[in-house]
Chain A
Amino acid sequence: MDAYLSLWETYGGQMLSTFWTNLQLTFWAAIASFLLGTLLALMRISPVPSLRWAGAAYVNIFRNTPLTIILTFGVLVLFGVFRVTLASDFNLNFFRIAIIGLTIYHAAFFCEAIRSGVNTVPLGQAEAARAIGLSFLPAARIVILPQAFRGAIAPIGNVLIALIKNSTVATAGSVAEISGTMKVMMEFRPDVGIPIFLTVAVFFVIVVLPVGMLTTYLSKKLAVAR
């Protein structure tokens, strides 16, 4: 017990601050990838074949690429080769590049989650919207997407949960986040190896559990009555 307490004395602040980084990565990547995912879903249901094709191509490419590769690409190619600089501060630059990587990857999953929601909306809703004179975008915005989001809350929640946990992969993108801290702690404090793992796991459980419960609750509460 004393050993575990001394671990907190040494690394407590670093654990909390790096986990805060995970939450920030998640927050910004969630907003950006949800927006991009919505755009991709719109492309995939649009009446324009080339847009549908582009949307499907995006999803199939990035959904099937390991996240580690995307984030490593950000550091080694975007920064290493092309010197992409999004912030003058070195660490902030990697942080932002990591957000882009997380966004690109998870947008593909958000797109598919939203599209599963679109499939819960009967075709007649779109026909009725077109019949009163709404063209594709207004019909999508006013009639289809509001119902689709409400039908997709559970799968959207799943993608969000995956994103929270996948923020640890940002280590591959040279971001100081919790799994990096964990590795350091393991190196210097192997005497409390298992407690270190459990502590980091509990951090995530504390954040993920409410997200899961909230999305389950909302998916029932907001379900569209038909």
Chain B
Amino acid sequence: MNATDTGRGAEAAGPVVRMEKVNKHYGPLHVLQDIELEVARGEVVVVLGPSGSGKSTLCRTINRLEPIDDGSIYIDGVKLPEEGKALARLRADVGMVFQSFNLFAHKSILENVTLGPIKVKGMKKAEADKLAMELLTRVGVANQKDKLPAQLSGGQQQRVAIARALAMRPKVMLFDEPTSALDPEMIQEVLDTMVGLAQEGMTMIVVTHEMGFARKAADRVVFMSDGAIVEQAAPQEFFTNPQSDRAKDFLGKLITH
């Protein structure tokens, strides 16, 4: 796999992800408030914000792991369907990396990566194995291919999870706090993999607390607080010159620690 075909299919004009007036409630809690967001092809958007600001929920609505109350979400111009086969098809185009890895616990590392291509895309096993080995080599865990997920370290599992998502050749990759469950010494290996992806032109939406990654790899920082997008800017501008009080407060707390 070379730098130009990190999985993006037919190049259509317009944003890869578009959210229009998206609202979601958990009971009385208005967890997403009139969210408007567009992510262009090849763009890396990092979503920052305090805990409970709705950033994980926002990420999970994009492939409808969380349903929304109203508003619309478009993936590459196609409106996210409610349920059923059409939704499954669209999800195949959206890669997702979870905080807790969620590798299929009863499948080997290789099978974790080939399952999607074989079962969802109908790829031949030999072809899927070849693709999986390329991806596992790229994330540096090819030598673990026959092990079960529980036999790998957290950092290795998360890199396999990235390979599993990439195997579907997604149009966009969602990262829901991918390093939050990792021991400190394993965070860097996962971030390095993600920086590599960003440099290759993958469209990425990353919910994280890793400011280093935001500075290094993000094209844009989206700052959320209390379920709303408060401000968005290029990382350099956001970190040096935040506009809103809530962003200043958030960044202030980070620096004092």
Q: Tell me, yes or no, whether A26 is within 8 Å of chain B by CB.
A: no
Q: A142 to chain B: which residues have CB within 8 Å?
A: 115, 119
Tell me if B89 and A128 are in contact (CB < 8 A).
Answer: no
**Nearest CB in chain A: distance from B162 CB, A:** 12
**Nearest CB in chain B: distance from A157 CB, A:** 20
Q: For the complex, give the distance between the alpha carbons of A10 and B155 in Å.
A: 71
Tell me if B151 and A225 are in contact (CB < 8 A).
Answer: yes
Q: B85 to chain A: which residues have CB within 8 Å?
A: 135
Tell me if B105 and A226 are in contact (CB < 8 A).
Answer: yes
Tell me if B102 and A125 are in contact (CB < 8 A).
Answer: yes
Nearest chain A residue, comparing its CB with the CB of B90: A133
Tell me if B120 and A128 are in contact (CB < 8 A).
Answer: no
Q: Tell me, yes or no, whether A147 is within 8 Å of chain B by CB.
A: yes
Q: Tell me, yes or no, whether B56 is within 8 Å of chain A by CB.
A: no
Q: Tell me, yes or no, whether A201 is within 8 Å of chain B by CB.
A: no
Q: Identify which of A124, A129, A133 gathers the most chain B CB atoms within 10 Å of its CB.
A: A133
| Chain A stretch 145-159: residues in CB contact (< 8 A) with chain B | 146-147, 150
Q: Tell me, yes or no, whether B144 is within 8 Å of chain A by CB.
A: no
A contacts with B, residue count (CB < 8 A): 22
B contacts with A, residue count (CB < 8 A): 34
Q: Tell me, yes or no, whether B238 is within 8 Å of chain A by CB.
A: no
Q: B119 to chain A: which residues have CB within 8 Å?
A: 134, 138, 142
Q: B93 to chain A: which residues have CB within 8 Å?
A: 133
| Chain A stretch 115-140: residues in CB contact (< 8 A) with chain B | 122, 124-125, 127-135, 138
Tell me if A133 and B115 are in contact (CB < 8 A).
Answer: no
Tell me if A133 and B103 are in contact (CB < 8 A).
Answer: no
Q: A132 to chain B: which residues have CB within 8 Å?
A: 91-92, 115-116, 120, 164-165, 168
Nearest chain A residue, comparing its CB with the CB of B63: A131
Tell me if B89 and A133 are in contact (CB < 8 A).
Answer: yes
Q: Tell me, yes or no, whether A143 is within 8 Å of chain B by CB.
A: yes
Q: For the complex, give the distance between the alpha carbons of A149 and B203 in Å.
A: 38
- By a beta-carbon cutoff of 8 Å, the part of chain A in contact with chain B is 47, 122, 124-125, 127-135, 138, 142-143, 146-147, 150, 224-226
A-B residue pairs in contact (CB < 8 Å), sample of 11: A127-B102, A131-B96, A133-B88, A133-B92, A133-B93, A134-B88, A135-B85, A135-B88, A138-B120, A142-B115, A225-B151
